[in-house]
Amino acid sequence: MELVKLEKLIDEVTAKYPLNSQEGKGLDTFVSFKLYHPDRRNNPEGFWYVTEASRVGDDVQFAGLSGTGFIGGLGARIEPNLFTLSGLMNINDRMGHEIAIDNDFKPGTVRELYDAERPLQPYIDNEIEKQRRALILASRDDVCEMISGYFLALDADMGELAHKIGENLADEVTSCMMANKGVEKRPALLRVIAYRLGLMSARKLQGW
């Protein structure tokens, strides 16, 4: 390992991004440098993307994205992890190969690294999907109020029934949006209402 260069990188990260300094940033977390295991270039377990670092005694505690499981295991994936410099050095000693600095790596946010860093792609895709589902769930109450208001506008005496209709249809809209990545809120809402009101047959609905 290029220890002089690594020490310089560590100094830069500890000064700018100490541990917990990027908490909550998600895909906008900045990745400063990347380490890799020369014998595991195509295995996610052989990558360490450093986002934060702090010196702890004679050691360095890193936070970042790295492979899970054991070297050479199946089903490896990149996930947020904590790891230490001494731990990485122990891997060197145990495996007989030195972990290296990726000199071709270009720092950027996790999101910005999607095209350049293939090992990160499944993780980024999963995080984007989690965000999408969270937004859908957060919008459910808005959808319910929209539907309830629609039926109350048709009949001011509907009251409790309008809210029940709103609840049921909001659940269907949410399920529809969860299942179809290409469906936005309003089209999903229109499809479900049209179908439930008998304005559109199931066959026509599939192609709408």
Q: What is the 3-state secondary structure (H, E, C) of the chain?
A: CCHHHHHHHHHHHHHHCCCCCCCCCHHHCEECEEEECHHHCCCHHHEEEEEEEEEECCEEEEEEEEECCCCCCCCCCEEEEEEEHHHHHHHHHHHCCCCEECCCCCCEECHHHCCCCHHHHHHHHHHHHHHHHHHHHHHHHHHHHHHHHHHHHHCCCCCHHHHHHHHHHHHHHHHHHHHCCCCCHHHHHHHHHHHHCCCCCHHHHHCC
For residues 34-39, give the mean pLDDT. 85
Q: Is the dihedral of CA 68, 69, 70, 73 positive or negative?
A: negative
Q: Is the dihedral of CA 44, 49, 52, 2 positive or negative?
A: positive
Q: Is the per-residue pLDDT at 194 higher than 90?
A: no
**Confidence bin at 176 (pLDDT 50/70/90):** confident
CA angle, 91 as apex, 69 and 87 as ends, to 5°?
85
Global confidence as pTM = 0.74
**Confidence bin at 205 (pLDDT 50/70/90):** very low
pLDDT for res 181: 61
Q: For the chain, give the longest Cα–Cα distance.
A: 78
Tokens, residue 176: 């529809």
How many whole angstroms from its chain centre is CA 142?
A: 24
pLDDT for res 165: 82
Bigger pLDDT: 67 vs 60: 60
Residue 46 near residue 30, CB atoms below 8 Å: no
Average pLDDT over the chain, rounded to an integer: 81
For residues 108-118, give the mean pLDDT. 96
Range of weakest confidence among 31-35, 56-60, 68-72, 102-106:
68-72
Range of weakest confidence among 131-140, 162-171, 190-199:
190-199
pLDDT for res 71: 45
Q: What per-residue string of b and e applies to 40-65 under the rule 16 or more CB within 10 Å gives b?
A: beebbbbbbbbbbbbeeeeebbbbbb
Percentage of residues of the chain with pLDDT beyond 90: 40
Q: What digits encode the pLDDT tens for the residues 115-141?
A: 999 889 999 999 998 988 888 788 888
pLDDT for res 44: 62
